[in-house]
Structure 1
């Protein structure tokens, strides 16, 4: 299969491209710099220069590469300390909303058959300890997540033209290459848990390689629709902090007071305080996907092992 990928050099993009190439697909990846092009080539894919926000430019690329499928991973998530400012999300919103629209327009003209887009579980409302998923739970819009929902609507438009459009609502990514996870790790080494919200509220995470595997399997197996890609067992913030403490060799972590976290979080305060216990059941029922790490207890210990290996190697 000929597959066109955006965001190929990102945290999620690199393992996705690697898996696609290993599976025998011909992968073309959008490149915006010479450095990106070199990395894409190292991953075994072919770099392509084009304007993501121009439907004509995208159509030319898709027709030239004879792409059968698109994996749209491009994103620009602001650093953790800037997430509370709406202005910090503008570039990411532009990519998600306008980039996805242009890419779907181009895909429909170029006769692409499959479009995969990774969304984010933060679009769900607070449901306490209740299990939630795409079939049972309506979304609750938020200024920082509206562009993601707009992108989902574009994928639905693609599906409406008798194509296969797949939205994967990802949990928070964690692993040795995920910047946000490394921030959590660094704070934990100092004895701190940066986890806003009630301690009995749920978080939904997914290991980076498990998320990448889900994307590749979705391309091959999933029908059109919206699916949830998260660990088998989302943890409460308290259990999450305990797992993180254990991975860095501490008995417990000190929670930064929630009032202070709300002040630091700005516009994102309401969003990151939600309890979202997301289920991956439907995707597992319809595909062969099974996460290697079923919960963050195992995931954080694996990250700790990876960190120790890096320290020994250096």
Structure 2
């Protein structure tokens, strides 16, 4: 396929582009700076200049790329310490809500056949120890996640025009090149675990390279729809903290009290305290995809090894 990709220089974009090319796709990647252009070329894709919020610019870019598929990875996630402030999400919301709407409009006009959008599993409610699946679990809106829900609706609109729109609800991304994961790891080295929510509440994670492979598999094999992309075994926060402690050679970590965490996470407190045990079963059965990192026990050990090998 001829693929037009946004968010090329983010963590997920850098992991996805080489896999797309290895699978035989030709990739044109959205670029808005000279630095991005250089990075895109190094990854093996062809940079193309456009403005995500300008229809004429996007129309020209899609025509130049002859794209039959769009992979919309663009985001602007705020730094960890600012995630609890609603105002910190405005730029990201603009990209997700308005950028996706405009991109779907232009894609439909250009005859693009496939649109892939990675959403986020925090759209789900607290389900305690029950398994969560996109086909059976209703979403629960939150001010910080409403923009991604709006973006999902735009992808559904794309599908309603008899095209193939695919939403992938990703778990928390982690890996040796993911800044938020490195922050967690460095805090653990100091003996601290910043994990809001009760110890028996579930977290759903996905190794960044596995998320990238899921995007490529979805592009190649998945029917239109909404799918969950998480590892095979979500851990409770207590299990997660234990795995993190082991990866840094500690018996246990000091948990920041939940009251303090609620203050630190601000507007996001209700959302990040939820127990969300998400299943990847449906996507696996439909496509044959399988994560290489099955759970966070394996993942944190791999991050520790990568840090050690790098001398960090």
TM-score range, shorter chain: over 0.9
State the alpha-carbon separation in 1 of the partners of residues 103 and 174 from structure 2.
28
- Per the TM alignment, residue 105 of structure 1 is displaced from its structure 2 partner at its CA by 0.3
Alignment partner of 1:118: what SS? strand
Which residue of structure 2 aligns with residue 292 of structure 1? 292
* Structure 1 residues 214-234: Cα deviation after superposition (integer angstroms, max 9, x where no partner): 000000000000000001000
Q: Which residue of 2 aligns with 1:237?
A: 237
Long gaps (5+) in structure 1: none
Q: Classify the secondary structure of the residue corresponding to 2:140.
A: coil
The two structures have a TM-score, normalised by structure 2, of 0.99
- The answer to whether the aligner puts 1:253 opposite 2:253 as a matched pair is yes
Report how far residue 38 of structure 1 moved.
Answer: 0.1
2:55 matched residue in structure 1: 55
TM-score (norm 1): 0.98
Q: After the TM superposition, which of the residue ranges 204-213 and 20-29 deviates more from structure 2? A: 20-29
Q: CA deviation at 1:24?
A: 2.0
Q: Tell me by how many angstroms 1:63 deviates.
A: 1.5
3-state SS of paired residue (1:227): strand
Residue aligning to 2:91: 91
Match of 1:218 in 2: 218
State the secondary structure of the residue aligned to 2:28: strand
Residues 38-81 of structure 1 show CA distances to partners (whole Å, capped at 9, x for unaligned) of 00000000101111012222122111211010000000011111
The C-alpha deviation readout for 1:154-210, integer Å capped at 9, x for no partner, is 000000001000000000000011111011001100001100000000000000000
Distance, in Å, in 2 between the alignment partners of 1:254 and 1:176 is 23
Aligned to 1:138: 138
Partner of residue 161, structure 1: 161
Question: How many Å separate the matches in 1 of 2:31 and 2:14?
Answer: 13
For 1:158 and 1:246, the matched residues in 2 are separated by: 45
Matching residue of 1:181:
181
Structure 2 counterpart of 1:271: 271
Where does structure 2 lack aligned partners over 5 or more consecutive residues? none
SS of residue matched to 1:226 = strand
How far, CA to CA, are the matches of 1:54 and 1:149 in structure 2?
A: 22
Aligned to 1:16: 16
Alpha-carbon displacement from aligned partner over 1:8-31 (angstroms, at most 9, x marks no partner):
110000010011112221100000
Matched residues in 2 for 1:177 and 1:107: separation?
31
State the 4+ residue runs in structure 1 displaced beyond 3 angstroms: none
Distance in 1 separating the partners of 2:289 and 2:168: 13
The alpha-carbon deviation at position 265 of structure 1 amounts to: 0.9
SS at match of 1:198: coil
RMSD of the alignment, in Å? 0.7
**SS in structure 1 opposite 2:310?**
helix
Q: Secondary structure at the match of 1:137?
A: coil
Whole-angstrom CA distance in 2 between matches of 1:234 and 1:56: 44
